[in-house]
Amino acid sequence: MPYAVKVSSRAQRDLALIYRFIHARESLTAHRWYLGLGNAILRLEELPYRWPLTHEDARLRHILFGKKPHIYRVIYRVHERLKRVDVLHMRHGGREHF
């Protein structure tokens, strides 16, 4: 049974900022990268435990998406009982810990 993926309002704002920051509207390559990020998030429906735990909080996991130096972290939490994944935050991997 697939998990429901819920993207928080903060994560939605993060996605919008990333879209603008990478100029996805003007660049086909950036747009494809952005779509790949979205697909990685959607794949959490089937494989929420694929990605490792964060070192900041053992209840959270993170996707590392992209190639150096353009790696982004997608921070999420799995609610096993509810069969739900909450996407909480997205940030550039080079930023300090959240």
Q: Is residue 2 scored above 90 in pLDDT?
A: yes
The CATH number of 4-92, from 3.40.640.10, 3.30.2310.20, 3.40.30.10, 3.40.50.970, is 3.30.2310.20
CA distance 2 to 85: 10
In the predicted structure, residue 93 carries a pLDDT above the cut 70: no
Q: What is the pTM of this model?
A: 0.89
d(Cα 2, Cα 28) in Å, to the nearest integer? 31
Amino acid at 49: Y
Tens of pLDDT, residue by residue over 7-32, are: 999 999 999 999 999 999 999 999 99
pLDDT tens digit sequence for 53-76 = 999 999 999 999 998 888 999 999
